[in-house]
A and B are shown apart, each in its own frame.
Chain A
Amino acid sequence: MAIQVQNSQSATQAYSMPSRCIYCVAPLLFLLLSCSTVRLPSDVTTSGDTITTPVRYSIVFVIHGDGKYRYHDTVGGSHQADEMALDSAHEIAAQNPQAEAFIFHERRRPGFLRRLITRRDGAFYYYRQGKLLAAESYRRYRKSERFDAAVNLYNQFRAPSELDQTRLFFYFGHEIPEFGGAGYDASHPRETFTVDDLAGGVEQWSRGAGRFDILVLATCYGGTPHTIAGLSPYARYIVASPENLHLSYFDLQPFKQLHLHLTRDSAHAFAEQFARHAFLRLTTEVQTAVTVALYDVDRVASYVTAVDSMYQRVISHREEPAPLLRLPIDCAEEPLFTRPDMHEGVTLFYRPPQFGRARSKRDHSGWECPAL
């Protein structure tokens, strides 16, 4: 099957303007282009291409960068966590010859002067067969739902779903609020974002193609009953961190060369290998607690269903913003959320913090709950 891939409108249209006009509009054109184009990785080029092999893997990356994402490594270097995640996503996309990859980078809103020219604060990249075929910017809050613009781009570019296509979804960002959600975007403080909004987006991305085989939630406090319950209809296996995930960082190295390791049937084993790899990598670099969990969505359903109504009652009655010092706790430490089946379907990799009062906590249930 041959598929002709077209670059979408964006910058390419501008180059076909009649030459007699070019001098009068050149300064404006320069400004527009400089604001609407996105940073391309150094080792890829954009081009139309003819694709002849089926797409066996479909990968969606959503990387939130509109907030505090600066961190320091152990040798003193300063980094932007979202830029690091973006680089990893580009690497994965470029190193999978049988995949298509959609990368959405949610950036800070342009400053006041730039906003007079453009309001685009999202960057989109589309890869197929390891080649970058499109790179353009978009406006994140133009539509009513948070991910509408990104979903439209996805539908515009996606290849027809193949039978037995393996589908992967990644979200990188800060902890996603389960209630309220104002201020998640530093430059859109009035907009709200909650787990339900993310679930709504994932639902749109999974429409017509079924559940994602693996969903990776690279945020702090992603392993809660409510979050897993919200995402469960749209994924078979979820990898998340119940506690802090330093830098929102999971090492994505296992996702390179997917065709050598991953099929739909091996998704659980692959997800477990990835979770273990991410855990080991974190333990070499992080002195705080490291907790990485793999949830088999069908097997954890009985637990999350049993506790979710109580959980929702607790979080919805909390003040907004949440009172200081009320950090979440291991669900096993709160009788309301403790059940005999809470370990069913959870594969946990846990190491306590190396210092501080929690360093003697030797195990974890794999679930994090609000402190009452």
Chain B
Amino acid sequence: MLKYCILAVVLSLFALGQTSHAQDMDGIQKYLNDMAVSVKAADDPAEKRAILDRSFDAMARALDKVEQSPMISSDDRAGINLYRASLQENRDELAGVNGFDRVPDVRLDAFADYSVQSLEQAAEKTITISLVAALLIVIILILIV
């Protein structure tokens, strides 16, 4: 059922012409940007940390699901792998594992900004994800969160 829903939404978006290739990472960036805004709005460091953790986890699950989809290309899979690796670095740093010092409580707002900015830069230089793959990621994120 989920597959049909996703297919229907993607086809609808194509039919309506509401998206453009140049903006294909917009939905993902908006998701991360909303995360950063939520982190800054929270008062308690534990809550900030939970928001970051939850958001990174949802994104990782969305990437996993999209990677298994037959609708995406091998180039998309390479882009998704790169993005997943970058996301894992963020998760490791947040938790203080794999050689990272744990992000201090007072630096969580800045870390949220870093997550958004590093993705925006990576999207320009290295991470190439097609419109279809980006839309699928966003749709799954909406369904997960």
Q: Which residues of A contact B (CB under 8 A)?
A: 67-68, 70-72, 74-76, 78, 108, 174-175, 186-187, 220-221, 244, 246-247, 286-288, 324-325, 327, 353-357
Select from chain B the residue with minimum beta-carbon distance to A174: B124
Known: A108-B22, A356-B89. A72 touches B110 (CB 8 A): no
Query: Are B121's CB and A70's CB within 8 A?
Result: no
The answer to whether the Cβ of B33 comes within 8 Å of any Cβ in the partner chain is yes
Query: Are B125's CB and A353's CB within 8 A?
Result: no
CB within 8 A of A356: which of B24, B78, B118, B120? B118
The answer to whether the Cβ of B123 comes within 8 Å of any Cβ in the partner chain is yes
Known: A186-B21, A325-B126. A246 touches B120 (CB 8 A): yes
Query: Are B114's CB and A355's CB within 8 A?
Result: yes
Query: Are A220's CB and B93's CB within 8 A?
Result: no
Query: Are B125's CB and A327's CB within 8 A?
Result: yes
Query: Are A68's CB and B124's CB within 8 A?
Result: yes
Known: A76-B34, A353-B118. 14 other contacts (CB 8 A): A70-B23, A72-B33, A72-B120, A78-B33, A186-B21, A221-B125, A286-B117, A287-B111, A288-B118, A324-B79, A325-B82, A327-B126, A355-B107, A357-B99
Complex: A175 Cα to B89 Cα, angstroms:
25
Query: Are B37's CB and A76's CB within 8 A?
Result: yes
Cβ–Cβ < 8 Å partners of B33 in chain A = 72, 76, 78
CB within 8 A of B114: which of A68, A353, A357? A353
Query: Are A357's CB and B89's CB within 8 A?
Result: yes
Q: Which residue of A67, A70, A247 has the most chain B CB atoms within 10 A of its CB atom?
A: A70
Query: Are B113's CB and A74's CB within 8 A?
Result: yes
Query: What are 9 A-B pairs with beta-carbon distances under 8 A?
Result: A67-B22, A108-B22, A186-B22, A220-B124, A246-B121, A287-B110, A324-B78, A353-B114, A353-B118
Cβ–Cβ < 8 Å partners of B30 in chain A = 72, 78
Complex: A286 Cα to B103 Cα, angstroms:
17
Known: A76-B36, A186-B21, A356-B93. A70 touches B26 (CB 8 A): yes
**Interchain nearest-CB distance for B36 vs A (Å):** 7
The answer to whether the Cβ of B63 comes within 8 Å of any Cβ in the partner chain is no
Complex: A216 Cα to B89 Cα, angstroms:
33
Q: What mask results when residues 121 to 133 of chain B are scored 1 for a CB within 8 Å of chain A, else 0?
A: 1011110000000
**Interchain nearest-CB distance for A318 vs B (Å):** 14
Cβ–Cβ < 8 Å partners of B121 in chain A = 220, 244, 246, 288
**Interchain nearest-CB distance for B104 vs A (Å):** 11
**Interchain nearest-CB distance for A236 vs B (Å):** 29
Cβ–Cβ < 8 Å partners of A174 in chain B = 124
CB within 8 A of B37: which of A71, A75, A286? A75
Chain B residues numbered 19-61 whose CB sits less than 8 Å from any CB in chain A: 21-26, 29-30, 33-34, 36-37, 40
Query: Are A175's CB and B114's CB within 8 A?
Result: no
The answer to whether the Cβ of B116 comes within 8 Å of any Cβ in the partner chain is yes
Complex: A265 Cα to B103 Cα, angstroms:
48
Complex: A288 Cα to B110 Cα, angstroms:
10
Cβ–Cβ < 8 Å partners of B26 in chain A = 70
Sorted nearest first, the 7 A-B pairs with minimum C-beta distance are A287-B114, A76-B37, A72-B33, A186-B22, A355-B114, A244-B121, A287-B113
Query: Are A354's CB and B110's CB within 8 A?
Result: yes
Chain B residues numbered 93-107 whose CB sits less than 8 Å from any CB in chain A: 93, 99-100, 103, 107
Cβ–Cβ < 8 Å partners of A72 in chain B = 29-30, 33, 36, 116, 120
Q: Which residue of A71, A78, A247, A325 has the most chain B CB atoms within 10 A of its CB atom?
A: A71
CB within 8 A of B82: which of A175, A187, A324? A324
Query: Are A287's CB and B117's CB within 8 A?
Result: yes
Query: Are A220's CB and B111's CB within 8 A?
Result: no
CB within 8 A of A74: which of B36, B99, B107, B111? B36
Complex: A7 Cα to B135 Cα, angstroms:
46
Cβ–Cβ < 8 Å partners of A76 in chain B = 33-34, 36-37
Cβ–Cβ < 8 Å partners of A327 in chain B = 125-126
Query: Are A288's CB and B36's CB within 8 A?
Result: no
Complex: A325 Cα to B124 Cα, angstroms:
13
